[in-house]
Amino acid sequence: MAKIIDGKQFAADLREKMAKQVTSLADQHQITPGLAVVLVGEDPASQVYVRNKGKQATECGINSIEHKLDESTSEATLLQLISDMNQDSAINGILVQLPLPKHIDADKVLNAIDPTKDVDGFHPINVGLLATGGKGMIPCTPLGSLMLLQDHLGDLTGLNAVVVGRSNIVGKPMFNLLLQQSCTVTVAHSRSQNIEAIVRAADVVVAAVGVPELVKGSWIKPGATVIDVGINRIEVDGGKTKLVGDVDFASAADVAGAITPVPGGVGPMTIACLLYNTLVAACRQHQVELPPA
Ligand code: GUN
């Protein structure tokens, strides 16, 4: 049976360290990091995310600024708000919750965020900096996945890593992060041939395809480390639903050396890394070192 990688605990420990770093920043430099989150409309899942982001930011001593805008808000109004926040030195990180209503061009909005405040790491400048090994903002879910991998495996140099999924939010940045750690990285996706054989060659598997329980235990190399980024709600008997990942946990846990559960694996790392990015952004904007934890 695989070791279960406890992302919930790791995220809680990270938040505890960050709370200390935030205190040091205030004591030594009179800086309090500020994170602005913008929610347009009433999407229930987004409302839950935004509430959790605000709550956890506050617990770490980060100023949380929330803008809840009506579904009918115009693109021009949203762009003006972003421009105002770009100019506001009390705001170090800006996150616009996705998805946005259909009448708003999400790319235009994300591209309007000051790249140094882009704590999601979605701006093309940050995408380019990650690809070229520069000092940008790294997308939260891939960053959290990498932290869990490094905590479990230490140095990743030379390992065969397979990323299943090629999204801009997870698959592509994960590829770049693993390559930066000197892994041999393969990206498999919905059009890949013989995906099982590709996964079976991997010491590290990161599953981020959005297909419930796609990756089976029979695909996993014995002893491999499996990071499951998927969060899928599926129907079980009696009309009930449950959350599952992109990995068939029961069969994979018999073969893998270590595996993240869903829920309680990568999920809690995303918000923790958002707060981490906010802290890093505040330090860079003020040209001070990140205080030691
Ligand atoms: N919606 C769901 N996940 C995310 C995320 O990580 N960032 C943003 N901006 N919106 C999201």
Kindly tell me if the per-residue pLDDT of 293 is higher than 90: no
Mean pLDDT for the stretch of residues 140-145:
98
Q: What are the Cα distances from residue 206, in Å, to 66, 203, 277? A: 32, 10, 22
User: Mapping DSSP to helix (H, G, I), strand (E, B) and coil, where does residue 213 land?
Assistant: coil
Q: One fold for both 29-118 and 140-268?
A: yes
46 CA closest ligand 1 atom index: 1
Mean pLDDT for the stretch of residues 272-287:
98
- Between the CA of 210 and the centroid of ligand 1 the distance, in Å, is 15
Proportion of the chain above pLDDT 90, given as a percent:
99
Q: How many CB atoms lie within 10 A of CB 111?
A: 15
For the chain, the domains span 29-118, 140-268
> The CATH number of 140-268 is which of 3.30.565.10, 3.40.50.720, 1.10.3720.10, 3.40.190.10?
3.40.50.720
Proportion of the chain above pLDDT 70, given as a percent:
100
Mean pLDDT for the stretch of residues 197-224:
98
- Between the CA of 287 and the centroid of ligand 1 the distance, in Å, is 27
CATH 3.40.50.10860 assigned to domain 29-118? The reply is yes
How many helices (H) and strands (E) the chain has is answered by 10, 11
Mean pLDDT for the stretch of residues 42-50:
96
Mean pLDDT for the stretch of residues 223-249:
96
Exactly one of 21, 117, 118, 120 is catalytic; which is it? 120
- Between the CA of 223 and the centroid of ligand 1 the distance, in Å, is 32
For residue 117, the one-letter residue type is K
Predicted structure pTM score: 0.97
Say what the pLDDT of residue 211 is: 97
Give the pocket of ligand 1 (CB within 6 Å). 95-98, 120, 140, 270
